[in-house]
Chain A
Amino acid sequence: MNETINPWLIIAGILGGALTIAPGLIWLERRLLALWQDRYGPNRAGPFGVLVVLADTIKLFFKEDWIPPFADKLVFVIAPAIVAITVLMSFVIIPIAPGFIVADFNIGILFFLAMSSMGAYSIILGGWASNNKYALLGSMRGAAQLISYEVFMGLSLMGVVLLTGSFRVEDIVNAQKDMWFVVPQFVGFVTFLIAGIAETHRLPFDIPEAESELIAGFHSEYSGMKFGLFFVGEYLGIMLISSLVTCLFFGGWLGPDFLPPVVWFLIKMFAFIFLFILLRASLPRPRYDQLMEFGWKILLPITLLNLMITAGIILYRSGAELNIIF
């Protein structure tokens, strides 16, 4: 499996795959939510209602693409593009199968963290450019939430990096041949998953949108395909976090030989996407200050402790002599 594939094919494959699965997730989410809430969900257009995605897309294209006269036009137009660009750029570092990766950076995880911190701009700028009270409130909440959860999103991954000794995602997957990192790094996995949900602002943490109190938060002024980009960006984010959890904690493409590596990867990724949707179906939204306190007062100390203990155990195991000179 080590022969090099044409990089353009890889790019086309990952881009096409991500952009096809993301709208498909809209249908999947509506069907699954319906299943868990004891109703049918969209089941009219096409087999099992799959074509509802197509109908939605056509509807979005024909809607009036309205830019409010009181908005800051340039920033208003750029904001939805930022979320799609940053999330798609993050897919660059994810190895779907051995050698099937767009850019094998030696700073892989750092690149993902950089891109996810740039993604915060789409919420902030979208809300600010809309020049609307609700949008501004939503984007301010969003900015505070994303900045705080970014801090220990990075820290929670450092345990995995310590165990592997590399930031390269492919090395991290290969280091899990004997044991998935979810076992030694269970705390890291839980904190990363929580931070990941907060980064994609999915339901238990969808404070920036909060449709029951802020209408739709930062994207209340958006319509047509601009709103569609925010929407697809959110589902791309779900895919990104799920595939990262798969790669970093659940052995990526590794699995018994009877299935090809890509299939193992997709199975694990979809398991986490299902988890995301189940969380949305089952958890209530916390209050804003509860969310921030949970982040800073519980999750941050836990990740720091996890990092310290992991580093201590690695140092002890390596048998390095303590040469402290007083």
Chain B
Amino acid sequence: MQIAFYIAAFVAVLSTVMVITRFNVIHALLYLVVSFMAMAVVFFILGAPFAAALEVIVYAGAIVVLIIFVIMMLNQKEEAVDQEKKWLTPSVYIGPAILSVLLLGELIYIIYEGESHTIGQQVVDVKEVGKTLYGPYILAVELSGMLLMAGIVGAYHLGRQKKKVTHRFLKQTED
């Protein structure tokens, strides 16, 4: 189990680095999918199978598909890749690199200071997740539900069109 964890973690880190460094947007997104799947494996090994499944269904399966869908409609060609190459010079990386090294240092410090857990000690199954979500965290669940509802209503309002029916013989426009 330990080896599987380290392999999955390594794949996750490597693919995330590839996401940042690719010039072609679709290739970057594909590495992002790989990164999500590696994260799902990590969750599974750590004993959270429900979180692992949702990571793949929601993030890799739905959100990235929608992003790719939009990028496909924009139909970006070689010009976009050239532009990306012009923008992503090595000097751009300096600022973010310093900041992330700081965060990495903090993370390593926390891992060394905090108490350690062994892998696969307890498995949190779906029932426990449900009980926790609809027990102590019910307010957060309700609030996020309202937020999503607002998003759906907004998207519907923006996307609504008047229905037009045009036919060779039957020229007619409703409302």
Residues of A whose CB lies within 8 Å of any CB of B are 72, 75, 105-107, 110-111, 113-114, 117-118, 120-121, 124-125, 127-128, 136, 139-140, 143-144, 146-147, 150, 154, 167
A114 lies within 8 A of B72 (CB):
no
Task: Give chain B residues whose Cβ lies under 8 Å from the Cβ of A139.
Answer: 72
Residues of B whose CB lies within 8 Å of any CB of A are 24, 26-27, 30, 33, 40, 49-50, 52-54, 56-57, 60-62, 65-66, 68-69, 72-73, 75, 125-126
A136 lies within 8 A of B49 (CB):
no
Known: A117-B56, A117-B61, A136-B75. A106 touches B69 (CB 8 A): no
Q: Is the interface of A mostly helix, strand, loop or mixed?
A: helix
Distance between B148 CB and nearest chain A CB, rounded to angstroms = 13
Task: Give chain B residues whose Cβ lies under 8 Å from the Cβ of A120.
Answer: 61, 65
The answer, among B40, B61, B126, for a CB contact under 8 Å with A150, is B61
B33 lies within 8 A of A113 (CB):
no
The answer, among B27, B52, B53, B72, for a CB contact under 8 Å with A124, is B72
Task: Give chain A residues whose Cβ lies under 8 Å from the Cβ of B40.
Answer: 114
- Least CB separation from B52: chain A residue: A107
Nearest 8 A/B pairs, CB to CB? A117-B61, A110-B53, A114-B56, A107-B49, A143-B69, A114-B57, A107-B53, A114-B53
Distance between B144 CB and nearest chain A CB, rounded to angstroms = 17
- Least CB separation from A127: chain B residue: B72
When chains A and B are docked, how far (Å) is the Cα of A167 from the Cα of B54? 13
- Least CB separation from B126: chain A residue: A167
Known: A147-B65, A147-B66. A117 touches B72 (CB 8 A): no
Question: Most chain-B Cβ atoms within 10 A of its Cβ — which of A113, A114, A125?
Answer: A114
B50 lies within 8 A of A107 (CB):
yes
A117 lies within 8 A of B60 (CB):
yes
When chains A and B are docked, how far (Å) is the Cα of A78 from the Cα of B5? 26
When chains A and B are docked, how far (Å) is the Cα of A155 from the Cα of B82? 44
B68 lies within 8 A of A143 (CB):
yes
A117 lies within 8 A of B57 (CB):
yes
Distance between B60 CB and nearest chain A CB, rounded to angstroms = 7
Q: 20 pairs across A/B with beta carbons < 8 Å?
A: A72-B24, A106-B126, A107-B52, A107-B126, A110-B49, A110-B53, A110-B54, A111-B53, A113-B53, A114-B53, A117-B60, A117-B65, A118-B60, A120-B65, A124-B69, A124-B72, A125-B30, A128-B26, A144-B69, A147-B69
Task: Give chain A residues whose Cβ lies under 8 Å from the Cβ of B24.
Answer: 72
Distance between B89 CB and nearest chain A CB, rounded to angstroms = 24
Distance between B76 CB and nearest chain A CB, rounded to angstroms = 10
Task: Give chain A residues whose Cβ lies under 8 Å from the Cβ of B69.
Answer: 124, 140, 143-144, 147
When chains A and B are docked, how far (Å) is the Cα of A167 from the Cα of B126? 9
Task: Give chain B residues whose Cβ lies under 8 Å from the Cβ of A150.
Answer: 61-62
Task: Give chain B residues whose Cβ lies under 8 Å from the Cβ of A114.
Answer: 40, 53, 56-57, 60-61
When chains A and B are docked, how far (Å) is the Cα of A117 from the Cα of B36? 13
Task: Give chain B residues whose Cβ lies under 8 Å from the Cβ of A118.
Answer: 56, 60-61
When chains A and B are docked, how far (Å) is the Cα of A137 from the Cα of B137? 43
B50 lies within 8 A of A140 (CB):
no
B65 lies within 8 A of A121 (CB):
yes
When chains A and B are docked, how far (Å) is the Cα of A143 from the Cα of B66? 8
Task: Give chain B residues whose Cβ lies under 8 Å from the Cβ of A143.
Answer: 65, 68-69, 72
- Least CB separation from A116: chain B residue: B61
A113 lies within 8 A of B72 (CB):
no
Distance between B70 CB and nearest chain A CB, rounded to angstroms = 10
When chains A and B are docked, how far (Å) is the Cα of A75 from the Cα of B75? 16
When chains A and B are docked, how far (Å) is the Cα of A274 from the Cα of B65? 32
Task: Give chain B residues whose Cβ lies under 8 Å from the Cβ of A147.
Answer: 62, 65-66, 69
Task: Give chain B residues whose Cβ lies under 8 Å from the Cβ of A154.
Answer: 57
A106 lies within 8 A of B125 (CB):
yes
Task: Give chain A residues whose Cβ lies under 8 Å from the Cβ of B65.
Answer: 117, 120-121, 124, 143, 146-147
When chains A and B are docked, how far (Å) is the Cα of A154 from the Cα of B111? 38
The answer, among B26, B50, B52, for a CB contact under 8 Å with A75, is B26
The answer, among B30, B49, B52, B57, for a CB contact under 8 Å with A113, is B57
When chains A and B are docked, how far (Å) is the Cα of A136 from the Cα of B77? 13
When chains A and B are docked, how far (Å) is the Cα of A120 from the Cα of B72? 14
Distance between A195 CB and nearest chain B CB, rounded to angstroms = 14
Task: Give chain A residues whose Cβ lies under 8 Å from the Cβ of B60.
Answer: 114, 117-118
A140 lies within 8 A of B57 (CB):
no
